[in-house]
Amino acid sequence: MKSKLRLAKIRFVVPALVPIGLAASGAVAAQDYPVRPIRIVVPFVAGGGTDLLARTLAQKFNEAWGQPAIVDNRSGGTGAVGSVLVAQAAPDGYTLLLATSSTHAISPNFFRKPPFHPITEFAAVSLAAVAPEIVVAHPSVSATSIKELVALAKTKPGTLNYASPGTGTIGNMTGELFKLVTGTTITHIPYKGSGAAMRDLLGGQVQLMFSGPSGMLQHIRAGKLKALGVAARARMTELKDVPTLAESGYPAIEASNWYAVLTSAGTPMPVIQKINTEIVRAMKLPDIREMLIRQGYEAKSSTPAELAALMKEDLAKWNKVVKSSGMQVD
């Protein structure tokens, strides 16, 4: 009888020690991290807003830890190529992804069998920045406000069009959300990238664009384009005179592109927390905040849990818009 009791105690105690051992190994990994170069994968071509933010973080990581942080641009598949690379990387915190709402909240909804799962195959680290979508019009469009734009679209259904950097981008989905909420018919003209879409908008070949502020602000300031509304909860610092969509009577039209650092699922939490701490510190630095504001972004960090909750919420939100647009594919 005594031997059975002794065995039972052993069976009870040993499993209880396993999580403690794992936690200890994770803490040791975080204490030493990083001991070699870090790779920050950007799932888009170099030169865009995501790339700029990644290179800014890379510099701050290098200054803080004395290890090189290398930006690796892996474009393709609306962010799928770079995202899959990080999902399949070793879960040690040395391969990071600068994800966006386009790559992890919108694009996966287009496929019944997406190339990666945006939640389960990644570990959330921290938000880095957010940028609201702006409703922008060519000067030839008579509307000077969102209410006038809606009235114009309803008076002449199907005559207005809007450009986007491509099907499935946040610009495309914001346009579809706008149509869904306002009950208007506006034709979508997809382009291969924001540069081509911007050129035709400036030239008047297309009339509208739902776009992030990067590259757009200079043309608005110069009077070459006009901003009709901002799809955010609050007005932008750089466009204080432009009302939000909520102020214009459409609070359901809220669309901001968030930029966040993720890593491979299974990465030890102490390592994630160490990276998170540095991102939070960096996003509070005046030089970074001012640089991002000039580009139309807002520096915004978070806890890993807050980012994970935002990703789940936005994934569900954009799923409804994608389904209503009828653009889901096999």
Q: Is 28 a member of any domain? A: no
CA distance 130 to 140: 30
- The whole domain housing 304 covers 37-131+258-325
CA distance 325 to 316: 15
Of 158, 135, 143, the C-alpha closest to 210 is 135
Q: pLDDT tens across 235-285, in order? A: 988 899 999 999 999 999 999 889 999 999 999 999 999 999 999 999 999
Handedness of CA 100, 120, 95, 302 (dihedral sign): positive
Q: Is 223 a member of any domain? A: yes
Number of domains in the chain: 2
Q: Is 202 a member of any domain? A: yes
pLDDT class for 19, splitting at 50, 70, 90? Answer: low
Same domain, 186 and 321: no
Q: Is 237 a member of any domain? A: no
Same domain, 126 and 181: no
Q: Is 205 a member of any domain? A: yes
Same domain, 124 and 169: no
Q: Which residue has the higher pLDDT, 5 or 149?
A: 149
Same domain, 110 and 160: no
202 class by beta-carbon count within 10 Å (0-12 exposed, 13-18 middle, 19+ buried): middle
Q: Is 19 a member of any domain? A: no
pTM beyond 0.75: yes
CATH assignment of the domain containing 274: 3.40.190.150
**Under 8 Å CB-to-CB from 223, ≥6 apart: which residues?**
139
Same domain, 265 and 126: yes
How much is the pLDDT for 28? Answer: 57
Same domain, 162 and 118: no
Handedness of CA 171, 176, 179, 182 (dihedral sign): negative
Which helix H or strand E contains 191, and what residues bound it?
none
Same domain, 293 and 223: no
CATH assignment of the domain containing 200: 3.40.190.10
Q: pLDDT tens across 194-233, in order? A: 888 999 999 999 999 999 887 889 999 999 999 999 998 8
